[in-house]
Structure 1
C-alpha cells in the first residue's frame, strides 16, 4: 500500500473516531447535572423570560435538531457561541491552543532528551550503578503525581531559591516569531529566554511521567535488540560498539518508542489540565476547567473536540513515520 492510500485510509478511520467523540461529547450535556439556563439567569427570574432565553439558545428544540445544528457547523469551524460571553467558541479555543501545544511539545522534548540517552545507558550498563539509578528514577517518575510535583517545584525552585517564576506565560512562540519578523533578533532572543524561563517548571512537571515511561521502554527495547543475532554479527565484523548500539540497535528500538511518544503527545495536549491549573498556564486545560465551573457547554464541547482531532492527527503522523524509521514496516 502506498503512502497516499495509507493516509487516505487512516484519515477516513480518523473521521469516524472524531464523529464518535463529537456524539459522545454532545450526549454528555444531557446526562450531566446542571441547567445552562441557570448559569445565565438568576433563580427568581420570570418564567416567561426564562422560556424566552431557552428558546433563543435553542435548548427547547428536539434532541435530533440540536444534534444536527451542532454537527453541521463543525466542518466549517463553527463550534457555536459561548453561553457566558456570547462569543464564538472556535475563536476562544484557537486563542488558547498555542499555549497548550507549547507546553505539550516542551514536555515531550524534555522527556525525549532525557529518557532515550538514559534508557540506552541503563541497557548498556546492565546491573551496574547507572542501571540501578535509571530504574529508581523511572519508578519515582511514574509514581509521582504531577500536581504534587508541580507544587513542590514551585515551593523549592520558585519560592525558596527564586530560580524560576511561579506561573504565567509572558510571551509565546507566536510572539517571538513576530519579534523575528520585525527584525529585532536581540529582542527575540530575550523573549525566547523569558519564555524558556517560564515554561521550564511546567514542562518538567508534565514531562516527568513521560520521561520515566520512555526510559523504561528504551531500556527494555535496547536489551531485546542487543541480544539479537544481527548485533552479534555486527560485532563479529569488527564494527565499532558505538555504531552497533546507536545506528542499529537503537534505530530498531525507536519503533515502539515513537508509538508511545505519539500517543503520549496526544495525551499531553488534553491531559495538561492539572499542570496548567497549578502554574496558571493559559491553555486549553484552563479553558476546560473554567467552562466546567461556568457550565459553559459549547466551550467545553469545542475544547474536547479540538483535543480529539489533535489526538487523531498525531496518531496518523506516528503511523506514517513507521516506514521512515524501519523500511520493513509496510503501510497496511
Structure 2
C-alpha cells in the first residue's frame, strides 16, 4: 500500500470517528432532561418568550431536522453560541487551546526527561535495586489518581513549603516569550515556569510510568540481539552501544506512544486543570457542565476529538514512514 492510499484510508477513518462523536453528543443533548430554551433563558422566563426562542433556535423542528442542521453547522465550522455567555463557541474554545497545549507539552517533556533515562537504567541493571526502584515507581505512577497527586503537591509544595505558587497563572507562555523578545526580561517566563511545574508533574506522572515501562521492555529485547554482542566484541564502549544503537532502535514504538499520549493528554487534562485552576479547555468544560451549556460542551469535546484524530493520523504516518513493514501489512 502506497503512502497516499494509507493516508486516505486513515483520514476517512478519522472522519468517521469525528462524525460518531458529533452524533453521540447530539444524541446526549436530545435525551437529556430539561428544555434547552428554558436553560437558555432561566426559570423566570415567560412561556411566550420560551416559545419564541424555541422557534428561533429551531428547537421546535423534528429531531432529524435539528440533527442535520447541527451537522451542517459543524461541517462549515459553526459550533453555535454558548447558552450561558451568548458568545461564539469556536471563539471560546480557541482562546483556551494555548493553555491546554502548554500543559500537555510540558507534561510530555517531564515524562520524556524522567522516563527514558529511568527505563534505560532499569533495563541495563535488571534484577538490581535500581530495576526494582524503577518498577515500583512505575507501579505507583500508574496507580496514583491525578486529582489526589495534584492536591498533595499543592498541600506539600505550595501550602506547607511555599516553594511553588498556588492559584491561577498570571501570565501565559506566549506573553512570557513576547516579554522576553521585546524587553529582554525573563521575569514573566520564570513566573510561568513556577505556575506550570506542579500541573505538569501531576499530568505527566502516569505518562512517565508508561514510558518507563515501555523503554525498559524495548531495551531488554534489543540488548539480547546479536548486533549488541557483536558491537561489544569489537570493543565499542558500553555507553555508546547502549545509547547510540540500542536506545535508537527502541525509540520507534516510544515515538508512537508519545504522539498518541499527547492526544490523550489534551483530553485528559480536565481533572488537572480543575485542581490547579489552569485556564484551559478542561476547566472550561467543567464550567460548561455545571451550567449545562450544551453548545459549549459539544464544541469542546468535538475539538478534542478532532485534535486526537489528527495527532493519531500524523503519528501513524510517521510510524509508517519509519517502518515500511506497517505499510506492507
| TM bin (shorter chain) | over 0.9
Please say if 1:212 is aligned against 2:209. yes
Match status 1:14 vs 2:14: yes
**What does residue 316 of structure 1 align with?**
313
Segments of 5+ residues of structure 2 without an aligned counterpart are none
| TM-score, length basis structure 2 | 0.94
- CA distance in structure 2 between the partners assigned to 1:237 and 1:327 by the alignment: 30
Q: Which moves more between the two structures, 301-310 or 18-27?
A: 18-27
Task: Provide, for residues 102-126 of structure 1, a one-character-per-residue CA deviation record: whole Å limited to 9, x for no partner.
Answer: 1111101101110011000000011
Aligned to 2:248: 251
Q: 1:27 to 1:166 in 2, by over 3 A?
A: same
How big is the shift at 1:42? 4.0
Moved more, 41-50 or 240-249: 41-50
1:157-191 per-residue CA deviation (whole Å, 9 max, x = no partner) reads 0011111111212222221343355x2222xx222
Deviation at 1:10, TM superposition (A): 2.1
Distance 1:3 1:176, change over 3 A: farther
Q: Deviations over 1:121-180 (max 9, x none)?
A: 000011111111111111111111110110110011001111111121222222134335
1:216-227 matches, cutoff 5 A: 216-227=213-224
> Does residue 304 of structure 2 align to residue 307 of structure 1?
yes
Alpha carbons 1:36, 1:296 under 8 Å: kept = no
Shift, 1:328, TM fit:
5.8
Shift of 1:13: 2.2
Give the deviation of 1:329 after TM superposition.
5.1
Distance change >3 Å, CA 295–CA 259, structure 1 → 2? same
Instruction: Please tell me whether the aligned partners of residues 96 and 283 of structure 1 are also in contact (alpha carbons under 8 angstroms).
Output: yes
SS of alignment partner, residue 95 of structure 2: helix
Query: Partner of 2:183 in structure 1?
Result: 184
Structure 1 residue 80 displacement after superposition: 0.7
- The alpha-carbon distance between structure 1 residues 179 and 118, as it changes in their structure 2 partners (threshold 3 A), is same
Alignment TM-score, normalising by the size of structure 1 = 0.93
For 2:177 and 2:19, locate their aligned partners in 1 and report how far apart those are by CA, in whole Å: 35
Cα offset for 1:249?
Answer: 1.6
The question of 1:53 aligning with 2:50 is answered no
- Classify the secondary structure of the residue corresponding to 1:168: coil
Q: Which moved more, 1:142-151 or 1:314-323?
A: 314-323
Mind listing any 5+ residue stretches in structure 1 that lack a counterpart?
A: none
Alignment of 1:108-123 (within 5 A): 108-123=108-123
In structure 2, C-alpha distance between the alignment counterparts of 1:193 and 1:7, rounded to whole Å = 41
Instruction: Tell me how many residue pairs correspond in the alignment.
Output: 329
Matched residues in 1 for 2:180 and 2:4: separation? 36
Q: Larger deviation: 33-42 or 96-105? A: 33-42
**1:122-161 residue pairs with structure 2 within 5 A?**
122-161=122-161
Alpha-carbon distance between aligned partners in 2 of 1:323 and 1:45, rounded to the nearest angstrom: 57
Could you tell me how far apart the structure 1 residues matched to 2:42 and 2:73 are?
30
1:72-107 CA deviation, whole Å, 9 max, x = no partner? Answer: 122332111111111100000000111111111110
Contact 2:38 2:50 in 1 (8 A): no
Is the contact made by 2:180 and 2:189 (CA closer than 8 Å) also made in structure 1?
no
Deviation at 1:238, TM superposition (A): 2.7
Q: 1:197 to 1:191 in 2, by over 3 A?
A: same
| Distance in 2 separating the partners of 1:266 and 1:108 | 11
Give the SS at the match of 2:273: helix
Q: CA deviation at 1:201?
A: 0.3
Q: How has the CA–CA distance of structure 1 residues 184 and 328 changed in structure 2, closer, same or farther, with 3 Å as cutoff? A: farther
Per-residue deviation, residues 266-323 of structure 1 (Å, max 9, x unmatched):
1110111111111000110111111111111000000001100110111112112225
